[in-house]
Structure 1
């Protein structure tokens, strides 16, 4: 008698013939400039400004030396509070060359949140736009400053003081940066990104050169980037999607960073892709939905597009198919990750089948490990079994800034990062993310994963986008509620009409009991749906009898 073959565990490691980079970000940029100095590095479409790699490096050095002249040094925290603009990118690379720690501040923050981040990170220098949309940043800084004892220097972009900094840096001795570079290690912390926590104050994920440079590089490798690529980046720089998957993926391959606008606008993004002949386009699903719904879509020549990334939230299969068919992004990839892991852990490959790309987040990234565990026992589950997704490797953050207890809750003794996401791994190592542990709905003892229902709702001809949440119910404990955005001209939708559509096609207990039609979902600035806000609003809606 032979023993039964044990089931394979939900574990995978990313092998690669391409080694990890051992550089600092400054050193890596220097290699790119040496190889591709005359190629375009950065284009700001709104202003028409352009930089070759040689020009970009010179301006980065000027910003770095200008900051150094104002006393910024290794380990100092430099905050940046601005929507997307070329100066954001220059500051990103300049602070890395100084060994200073860049602290990304959400452009949507108000005074209370700004004050918290300035104090929690101990920011000494703040670089800020004058404002964005309806926010007056200068007024908010003035209000916060008396309560921020570490803040000693504020620079507002576009002012005479900012131009003086550039002039001072441009006239300074470049050799000083070489001396500083000799003191820097790839393992030094150089970035703090605050997670958009759903409860309490956000936590500052602290990331090193090694973390984010390698993650950006391998994201670019799996997109097939070369110096010929031009990446349209409408996602925010303050988030990993923009500054790592966008900027660092570009500069580590000699590709061009293209900024379509300070904030996202569907028509402007499409116009930029056409005008700049972009080969790659980034976005969260809601951005791609907006682009596909843009009435003037067919007026733009987007035939230059080859690849791109859809990430930041679960990607509806129907939307993914349209991105390939209507935008021509035949090699588009799906990425999955989190701020704390630099961010990407999983990515589809450009040669994966469409089915793989619409139904999974791909396979493990090079040089990383992933596993799926039983959240209760901590043991790795067999393939095909849902559990909590965990990842380990070079990408895992150094920790939450000045929050050792919170770090220990997220990263265990073996350095596995626990994500809180529910996932399933198949026999080939492809992973599906089926929801958040906290988002799972338990209705009368049945576990319901919102993602499954959301995918189904996207097949309704009148539904442009859908989100499903759990709401309290006296009989079942929880019931399902669908929030839907309808196409223009669609008939009003009710719970009854949706039930009629779903009956016989969706298990009865998964059919949403309540339907709420909206024009938009509550979102974070990075395009993630805030289901915690939806649940709060749903309680008010239902208690009001609506």
Structure 2
């Protein structure tokens, strides 16, 4: 934690004193400790402010977050992208003075290129990062990256971490080739408590942690994420491996779509069935046929999902309100089974 804080201590904020808003230890397991430790290093020029408890993971009332920024004059916030996106989408945004906030940490979830641009436009000193609890929150940084690389990658490995991109058999793939992201270093976790099977699945015998994310590394060491390994799907008919980023970016570009998730359901005959789930913005209406027509106007046929699902709310699970992928797979499987029965009946 101290070494993380020492690294972030190198950042040169534009305005002093810096007021860093952080989640409390009750709702965050890493970034709050890192930011508080950084405040110790910068005790003359930084204050750390714990955001109120009503700024919870579910963000039921985004106004409480904006009110906190206004009252405390936050210049930096270490939270999660969905909080920032929800704030930018809020119809009450102009009611609060959030001009003091110039930077946020974008980490903890995949963010579409469209929303990432919105975040950087609003908060130009934003730091893009990548990590997980298993590596003490963060393992990459864009602290010394160019402007373009800050927007188009999750950064380069921190000095105390190693990162590589591997193929199906664990081999390191060449630069600019996709594969699974693996990481190791002193910040790596030792094991999952009382769960040797899960530990072995994540670390194997080499101590490299398999992150379950697909990415590419360029010649400078910067990493671009393409999606979750479990979400990599094979289009029907052609057998081409396609990552979900193109589908997700297209879905999120629709003015009525709030959130999108793409999954693949195995099909023994033709490959995986590509399924898109979307959650609409407040009071928006959109049919599955309209969503399909939108995709057909934007992408080639083989780039489009096979099934479209418009849900009032995406199913979520856990304290961090993550999308419940298993439940989505169950919904898709039932729809596909029903469609197959109708097809057989018509024959």
TM-score by length of 2: 0.83
Which one of the candidate residues 282, 285, 295 is aligned to 2:78?
282
Instruction: Report how far residue 403 of structure 1 moved.
Output: 4.0
The 3-state SS of whatever aligns with 1:423 is strand
- Aligned partner of 1:509 in structure 2 is 302
Across the aligned residues of Structure 1 and Structure 2, the Cα RMSD in angstroms comes to 2.9
Runs of 4+ in structure 1 displaced over 6 angstroms?
none
Which one of the candidate residues 30, 47, 62 is aligned to 1:266?
62
Please give the residue correspondences for 1:125-136 in structure 2 after superposition, counting only pairs within 5 Å. Answer: none
Cα distance change on mapping 1:456 and 1:348 into 2, 3 Å:
farther
Question: Any idea what the Cα deviations from partners look like across 1:424-446, whole Å, max 9, x if unmatched?
Answer: 01122211111222221123422
1:346 maps to 2:135: no
Contact 1:522 1:529 in 2 (8 A): yes
Cα distance change on mapping 1:404 and 1:488 into 2, 3 Å:
closer
Q: 1-side partners of 2:104 and 2:91: how far apart?
A: 22
The 3-state SS of whatever aligns with 1:357 is helix
Q: 2-side partners of 1:481 and 1:338: how far apart?
A: 27
Q: Larger relative contact order (C-alpha < 8 A, sep ≥ 6)?
A: 1
- Aligned partner of 2:345 in structure 1 is none
- Aligned partner of 2:162 in structure 1 is 369
Contact 1:472 1:478 in 2 (8 A): yes
- Aligned partner of 1:467 in structure 2 is 261
Q: 1-side partners of 2:66 and 2:38: how far apart?
A: 21
The 3-state SS of whatever aligns with 2:125 is coil
Q: 2-side partners of 1:229 and 1:295: how far apart?
A: 28
Please give the residue correspondences for 1:314-325 in structure 2 after superposition, counting only pairs within 5 Å. Answer: 314-325=110-121
TM-score by length of 1: 0.55
Question: Any idea what the Cα deviations from partners look like across 1:56-88, whole Å, max 9, x if unmatched?
Answer: xxxxxxxxxxxxxxxxxxxxxxxxxxxxxxxxx
Which one of the candidate residues 159, 174, 183 is aligned to 1:382?
174
The 3-state SS of whatever aligns with 1:344 is coil
Cα distance change on mapping 1:468 and 1:403 into 2, 3 Å:
closer
Q: 1-side partners of 2:11 and 2:183: how far apart?
A: 19
- Aligned partner of 1:301 in structure 2 is 97
Q: 1-side partners of 2:323 and 2:128: how far apart?
A: 18
Q: 2-side partners of 1:345 and 1:511: how far apart?
A: 34
The 3-state SS of whatever aligns with 2:298 is coil
The 3-state SS of whatever aligns with 2:2 is helix
Q: 1-side partners of 2:321 and 2:25: how far apart?
A: 9
Contact 1:261 1:268 in 2 (8 A): no
Q: 1-side partners of 2:323 and 2:24: how far apart?
A: 15
Instruction: Report how far residue 320 of structure 1 moved.
Output: 1.8
Structure 1 gap segments, 5+ residues each? 1-211
Contact 2:30 2:136 in 1 (8 A): no
- Aligned partner of 2:247 in structure 1 is 453
Structure 2 gap segments, 5+ residues each? 343-347
The 3-state SS of whatever aligns with 2:159 is coil
Cα distance change on mapping 1:351 and 1:258 into 2, 3 Å:
farther
Cα distance change on mapping 1:368 and 1:227 into 2, 3 Å:
farther
Cα distance change on mapping 1:489 and 1:404 into 2, 3 Å:
closer
Question: Any idea what the Cα deviations from partners look like across 1:285-340, whole Å, max 9, x if unmatched?
Answer: 32222212211101111111121112111111211222233xx3111112111111
Contact 1:213 1:244 in 2 (8 A): no
